[in-house]
Amino acid sequence: MGRDGAGGQFAFGDDEFGAGFGCVANRVIGHGEARANRLVAAVGGCLADG
């Protein structure tokens, strides 16, 4: 389950892995920002490898 917000902020949790993650940008950039996609992919990779 996750939630996004204005400016690219987002948070999510994964019950299966017992993990949560959040990211808060220091400037408003907009939705769909590439950094956010890379962070989510990196966290997902760590959970899958864990």
Q: Identify the pLDDT of residue 4.
A: 60
What tokens were used for 49? 């490898």
- The count of structural domains within the chain is 1
**Residues of the domain holding 18:** 2-49
Q: The pTM is what? A: 0.58
**How confident is the model at residue 33, as a pLDDT?**
65
For position 3, what pLDDT does the model report? 59
Tokens 């769909």, located at residue: 32
pLDDT at position 50 is 62
- Which residues have a Cβ under 8 Å from the Cβ of 7 and sit 6 or more positions away? 25, 27, 28, 29, 30
Of residues 29 and 24, more confidence is placed in 24
